[in-house]
Amino acid sequence: MGMFDWVDYECECPVCGAKVTGFQTKELDCDMDTVTPQQALFFYSICSGCGAWLVAQYVEPVAAHIHIEASKKNGDRVLKNYAFKPAKPL
């Protein structure tokens, strides 16, 4: 039994612009599987460039996008929306 599932998603950090990978979710079976953002809905990672904590949410109104909220170390928050583009087929 694992502790989380990996989410197949990467983006630029809304704070510093560094590439962020390694998104995780605890919403599913937590078997260390790799899932899509659509399966996870909410997922998170940390930016190795600036240390911002990124919380992501898959949102599918008319055009699918990822809503990212990044928390800086000083407590400030940065919000950004990205168009959803799957990284690669699973």
pLDDT in tens, 16-75: 999 999 999 998 888 899 999 888 888 999 999 999 999 888 877 655 667 777 777 777
Task: Give the model confidence (pLDDT) of 69-79 as tens digits.
Answer: 777 777 777 77
The residue type of 77 is: R
Query: Residue 62: what pLDDT?
Result: 53
The residue type of 90 is: L
Alpha carbon of residue 13 to chain centroid? 10
The predicted model scores a pTM of: 0.74
The residue type of 33 is: D
Domain ranges of the chain: 5-83
Closest listed residue to residue 16, CA positions, set 44, 50, 66: 50
